[in-house]
A and B are shown apart, each in its own frame.
Chain A
Amino acid sequence: MCLSRLMPNPSRFIAIIPLGAILVLCALLQIVAALWWADEFDTPNDATSIARNLIQTGEYLDYAGWRLYGDSAGQADAPLRMHQLPGEPLYLAAGFSWLPAFLWRFLHLPVMLLLVGSIMWCTRHCFGKPAAVAACNAAGRSDSGWTFMAALENTAATAVRDGIGHGDHSGWLGCA
């Protein structure tokens, strides 16, 4: 029997969903995940540690030399100064400096919504609505953002050990 006879028609389903609703669902998933599903987060890249260094020392430093030099090399202990583009570290540093700790876990929410919204908008205008939903989902599976199902799938998996700052559980939802 044809598979499509057994399954609901997703095209019809997608046709009646406003893309804005997907964006809202995406935001809700992110908020729920940040509030209840994990309590300590860090970015998979070094943006968080660079932001910390920036706040503490005023210098843009990254202590991730092991990737270039290995663990046993002396160079690995030296800070790197151009190892990551500055957008995310500066954004995080601004957030850590100016926002209360309980909001840090939501720092990536506006970035994620902007990313998902932009992808959906562009894809819809180029290829139509079903493609926009698919692109939104695919984007969420990449390293560049979380959305839709990916928020469900990835949130727990990317929780890491170190909370930010004050020794409490004020982790935040990190995505690189």
Chain B
Amino acid sequence: MALGMATTLGGWAVRNHSISGEWIFGSTHDGIALWSSVYPQARKAIASGQLDYLNSEYMQEHWAAAVSMSEWEADSYFKQKAFDHIIANPLATARLGLVKLGLTFSGIDPGIALLTPRNAVALLTNLLALAGVTV
């Protein structure tokens, strides 16, 4: 397994190094994905049924800061911003994580009405699971 991971990620990293000069084993999407998952607007995004949403108005300041950066630098910028936010707001981040975890396992989409077919099925399966636990 380690050999497989090393081969695939290594090949990707070598390719990235050849075009950017940086050893990137992941992707330049990681930083913005982490940022959009924890940033101050993330809770509002959940209410609209999104787990990964960028509020354009809020993002203007950050996009302006990133505009002159390379792809790699912009990724590092958002990664750093995300970690700074997590460290400054550990409890809020933990609460947000728990909400996301709960939504993931419940299957309920908070962006649509509770009695739509999707959420009704989710409620039903959760009810069955609850019944199974209490038996």
Contacts and interface: CB of A to CB of B under 8 A. Distances in A.
A150 B105 CA distance: 11
Interface stretch (A23-31, A32-40, A136-144): A136-144
Q: Chain B contact residues: over half helix, strand or loop, or mixed?
A: helix
10 contacts: A4-B131, A11-B135, A67-B32, A68-B32, A70-B64, A74-B67, A83-B71, A138-B107, A142-B104, A153-B118
A140 to B, nearest CB: 8
Contacts of A85: 12, 26-27
Interface residues of B, number: 44
Contacts, number: 107
A147 B12 CA distance: 30
Interface string A138-159: 1001110000011011100100
Contact of A4 (B51, B107, B135): B135
Interface residues of A, number: 39
* Consensus secondary structure, chain A interface: helix
Nearest to A155: B118
A10 B75 CA distance: 46
